[in-house]
Structure 1
Amino acid sequence: MTGPLLHLIAGARPNFMKLAPLVRALRADGRLSWKLIHTGQHHDQAMSGVFFDELGLPEPDISLDCHGGSHAQLTARIMQAYEPHVIADRPAACLVVGDVDSTLACALTARKLGVPVAHVEAGLRSGDMRMPEEINRRATDAIADWLFTTEPSAAAHLRREGHPDAHIHEVGHVMVDNLLFQLERLDAGDAAASAAEEAAQSALTAAGAAAVTAGRFGVVTLHRPSNVDEPRQLTALMAALGQLAGRLPLLFAVHPRTRARLAALGLKPAPGLHLLPPLPYRPFLALWRRAALVLTDSGGLQEETTALGIPCLTVRDNTERPVTVELGTNLLAGTDAARVLALALRRLDEMEALTGASSGPDATASSPVRRPPLWDGQAAARIVARLAADLRA
């Protein structure tokens, strides 16, 4: 590869999905050279390795192997491990995505050594400073030279915080780029798509949920400390999910930290609530794309369900992605378990009133999906074009 060198930072599962379109765009553009650096924040095969395979990411050029410990310990270890590579390579820029500890650690390290920083997914704000992600994204934006935003509210936040317009670039969303790319592969029915469908079905069979049909099940993901670390909250949410599962079978893709909390509390799933292991991206997409309802505390799923028009309840008191509520299918449900259950049941009543006995995307295929501006699958190309123009100037 020739041209100015770009460091691409990958740390946790959402990063891999955002970097895959950027790698494709960099290859297609050809004006920049790049190295993929994996910090190791998510290091196990289920949460990391398999994503490189199925997303088409190359093996990392550099693996820092930093994982575990507190936020401070992990951030410090990543900074120490990354610094020698910045000194050795002197990259033209460091590109970070999202809001995990790896994002902030590498941005800080690069900027302190005089290397410009590009932040993809800049400007998102929940307003909740108890969230480590909120601290990471605010601090990263404060030192970034390129602020690539996904929605109008993000650009507005950055302007209010004093960032000049020349640094803010409204480009769309690389997560949606990846979603649409992977959806095409699933719809094409190639060997990889067949393998993804088989993997999804195997997970259902293992969980005793083989009988669910498209549009007649819900999908659940929960991993945020506010939902899973407090025993009373997790117990209440599991009870609410159990009641909802009496109406609609639920497929709960259980994050490792959530599974550990369930085991420690001795919480067992109610009938109809099926616990699945963490799934690779494409098998998981093969499941939730056909769901009647998604319940999640994940930022990414709020956006992806909006892109496909699938009803979503966000089990949080705030969202840094308001466009998914304003223009999409997302409803901010809060964290009170009784309210989450009531809203989920109401959503099911509304869908069944509109579609008869069936619900989900298959039943509403005739309704056009309304996507936010620039969520068209070309965000990565816009980012690469801007960086190539600026770095080669």
Structure 2
Amino acid sequence: MDNYQNITIKKDFWEKVAGIKEKYIHLVLIATKPDIIKQAPLIFELKKQKLPFMVGHTGQHKDWNLSGGLEQEFDIDADFNLNIEGTFYQKVSQIIDRLGWIVDEAKKRGKIMLPYVHGDTATAMAGAVGSYVNVASVAHVEAGLRTFTPKKEIFNKILDKFDFESYRQSLLGNNNWIKGSREPYPEQFNTRVAETAASFHFASVELNAKCILEEGFESDRVFTVGNTVADSIKMVEEKAKDSTIFDKFPILKDGFIRFCIHRRENVSSFHRFTTIVDSIEQIISMGKNVLLISLPATEYALKEYDLKEKIENLAKINKNFIYSPVWPFYTDVIAAMKKATLFVTDSGSMQEEANILGIPCATLRFNSDRSESVMAGANIIAPPINSGLITKIVLSADDHREMANVPSLYGQNVSQKIVNIVEDILSKEDAFRFEQEKLGYSKEPYWKKGGSEF
């Protein structure tokens, strides 16, 4: 293990692997704050069904607010941590190498690791590659995320004359959208790579499943199940009633607009980021209660564009503005979210959470990889072209009853569906199939048995 000394592994890990009777070991990979939240219900379901499973953390998010607090809250005790570090490409290569080593070592002990990778993170992409090169499959949870962008004439029309309801109506359905974008970067790359290594594609909505099928993946391994974040919310809703977050931020009880900005394309563009910050300032000046949740990427941009002092001063002189680092516990997040009148975000998960909780959402991008929520009327695109446009869209969407009343798109008991589907398939055939298995010839009497590992 000389080349893998940076991996933290529980003392009895390999003994535990060797002692498992079953051929397959469910391996739930966690890495970032969103996928810890969304993978937690899967861990709970595997535990509930008493199936052989392990949890692996890649170390993509490390600190208390982004990882440690959630692990404590959801009682997650990872069996190993890859402890990745360095530049983006170094982290990706480390996940492939270190996870690949763990999958390979398990194979030497007669066990097949079946990683559950989530969504569009670097861990989903690199974890899928690390498994695939070992002829091992992954289950891709939240598969098929594809970005759709409104046609330019839709934006031009609202820039020429602002009419919120006309704009919102033009985005309903899929007639005025174009599929395909590099944004969000690198998430669109990540999810597409993960797809190619997956033997199980678990789509949140039919639109995602349709995209996967159009790209040529095996139709009998594509499933529309909903999104596990619906289960995550259900897990903490009761506890959220006793949250103390309002003791710390009492103005949130009276309703507020929640801002979150962290996508690379927003924080790496001076124009896009400063346009959003200018809009936040305008909305604060109008007396609206505003909460800005600051993530590491937000902090980077505030410092890079010399806006940190401006935001801090806004928080000092305006009692209706809270500038806060990300909170460690999902219970507090959900408790506060339920009091919000609008989410304004470039996050993917928040677009889903908004719809599930019945809160209108405005997405600070030119497009969305959760465009189903816009097409259904629960969400609206607020393109960062100029601050005035963002402000008008935000004020129009704030506490918008029709947007709030769109039924949840993301299902329930999603984790149970995923685990049941995987177990059903594994009871009949292997996860990783070459063409003879897929076509069924390997089961015919004339097919010679045997083979070799490579």
TM interval, shorter chain, is: 0.7 to 0.9
- Letter paired with 2:359: I
Question: Matches of residues 41-60 of structure 1 in structure 2 within 5 Å?
Answer: 41-57=60-76, 59-60=77-78
Distance in 2 between the 1:67 and 1:13 partners?
17
Percent identity of paired positions between Structure 1 and Structure 2: 27
Could you report, residue by residue, the CA deviation over 1:44-70 in whole angstroms, capped at 9, with x for unpaired residues? 11111111111232x100111003412
**Contact kept in structure 2, 1:35 and 1:61, CA below 8 Å:** yes
Deviation at 1:388, TM superposition (A): 1.3
Distance in 2 between the 1:349 and 1:300 partners?
20
Distance in 2 between the 1:301 and 1:348 partners?
15
Question: Does residue 159 of structure 1 match 2:177?
Answer: no
Q: 1:273 to 1:64 in 2, by over 3 A?
A: same
Alignment partner, residue 244 of structure 2: 198
**Contact kept in structure 2, 1:292 and 1:311, CA below 8 Å:** yes
Alignment partner, residue 374 of structure 2: 325
Distance in 2 between the 1:377 and 1:67 partners?
36
Distance in 2 between the 1:111 and 1:385 partners?
23
Alignment partner, residue 294 of structure 2: 254
- After superposing on structure 2, the runs of 4+ consecutive aligned residues of structure 1 that deviate more than 6 Å are none
Deviation at 1:327, TM superposition (A): 2.7
**Contact kept in structure 2, 1:16 and 1:52, CA below 8 Å:** yes
Could you report, residue by residue, the CA deviation over 1:248-294 in whole angstroms, capped at 9, with x for unpaired residues? 11010100221232134332123343211111222122112111111
**Contact kept in structure 2, 1:328 and 1:371, CA below 8 Å:** no
Distance in 1 between the 2:417 and 2:377 partners?
23
Deviation at 1:389, TM superposition (A): 1.6
DSSP 3-state at the match of 2:226: coil
- Letter paired with 1:155: A
**Contact kept in structure 1, 2:103 and 2:113, CA below 8 Å:** no
**Contact kept in structure 1, 2:360 and 2:398, CA below 8 Å:** no
Alignment partner, residue 322 of structure 2: 274
Alignment partner, residue 344 of structure 1: 394
Counterpart pick for 2:413 among 353, 378, 386: 378
Deviation at 1:349, TM superposition (A): 8.2
Distance in 1 between the 2:336 and 2:400 partners?
22
**Contact kept in structure 1, 2:29 and 2:56, CA below 8 Å:** yes
Using structure 2 for the length normalisation, give the TM-score.
0.75
**Contact kept in structure 2, 1:307 and 1:369, CA below 8 Å:** no
Alignment partner, residue 288 of structure 1: 337
- Letter paired with 1:26: L
Count of aligned residue pairs for this structure pair: 360
Q: Please tell me the root mean square deviation across aligned C-alpha atoms, in Å.
A: 2.0
Q: 1:305 to 1:350 in 2, by over 3 A?
A: closer
Deviation at 1:231, TM superposition (A): 2.6
Counterpart pick for 1:168 among 212, 217, 222: 222
DSSP 3-state at the match of 2:374: helix
Could you report, residue by residue, the CA deviation over 1:141-197 in whole angstroms, capped at 9, with x for unpaired residues? 12211100100101110111111210101111101111122113324xxxxxx3xx2
DSSP 3-state at the match of 1:292: strand
Is there any run of 5+ residues in structure 2 with no aligned partner, and where? 1-19, 148-179, 429-454
Deviation at 1:211, TM superposition (A): 3.3
Distance in 2 between the 1:99 and 1:87 partners?
24
Distance in 2 between the 1:136 and 1:254 partners?
24
Distance in 1 between the 2:42 and 2:400 partners?
39
Using structure 1 for the length normalisation, give the TM-score.
0.86
DSSP 3-state at the match of 2:139: strand
Deviation at 1:378, TM superposition (A): 0.7
Could you report, residue by residue, the CA deviation over 1:232-258 in whole angstroms, capped at 9, with x for unpaired residues? 322221111011112311010100221
